[in-house]
């Protein structure tokens, strides 16, 4: 019984990952709010220059999170820009404005819609692991 449950979960994980990676790649350079859904989902932000997955997140509203928070937001709600600006290894990104310009010039994201709150949390963790995310939330 447990083996069958695990097998089903592995198949679902593969399908979810394929859905994300086959979804449209949207560059922060070209991003306008009307391009995005205002629905809940899970997203991954990639650096095209390094090939790294910089960030994986979940949200109740894709449009608000990716455009309003990640791209246009302040330090309080733009977590990835904060991580970039405070990363001691990133001397080329000294502040939040430089982080915003870095996102615009070098990064893109992909997302999938997931309505269920619990499933979004599970998928965020799954993608963080599978995509070897670089910046991840501090544990509380």
Which one, of 123, 113, 114, lies nearest residue 13 by Cα? 123
Question: Does 139 have pLDDT greater than 80?
Answer: no
Which residue is it, tokens 């819609």?
113
Pairing verdict, β 26-27 and 53-59: unpaired
The pLDDT of residue 140: 54
Sign of the Cα torsion 78, 128, 44, 95 reads positive
Mean pLDDT of the chain: 94
What would the DSSP string read from start to end of 63-93? HIIIIIIIIT--TTT-HHHHHHHH-TT-TT-
Q: What number of other Cβ atoms are within 10 A of residue 63's Cβ?
A: 17
Q: What is the pLDDT of residues 18-72, one digit of tens each?
A: 999 999 999 999 999 999 999 999 999 999 999 999 999 999 999 999 999 999 9
């Amino acid at each position: 019984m447990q083996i069958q449950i695990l097998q089903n979960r592995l198949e679902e994980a593969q399908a979810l990952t394929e859905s994300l990676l086959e979804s449209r790649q949207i560059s922060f350079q070209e991003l306008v709010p009307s391009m995005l859904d205002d629905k809940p989902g899970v997203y991954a932000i990639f650096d095209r220059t390094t090939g790294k997955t910089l960030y994986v997140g979940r949200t109740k509203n894709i449009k608000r999170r990716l455009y309003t928070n990640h791209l246009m937001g302040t330090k309080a709600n733009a977590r990835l820009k904060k991580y970039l600006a405070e990363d001691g290894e990133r001397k080329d990104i000294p502040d939040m404005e430089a982080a915003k310009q870095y996102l615009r010039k070098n990064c893109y994201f992909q997302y999938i819609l997931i309505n269920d709150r619990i499933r979004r949390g599970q998928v965020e963790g799954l993608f963080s692991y599978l995509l070897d995310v670089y910046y991840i939330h501090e544990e509380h």
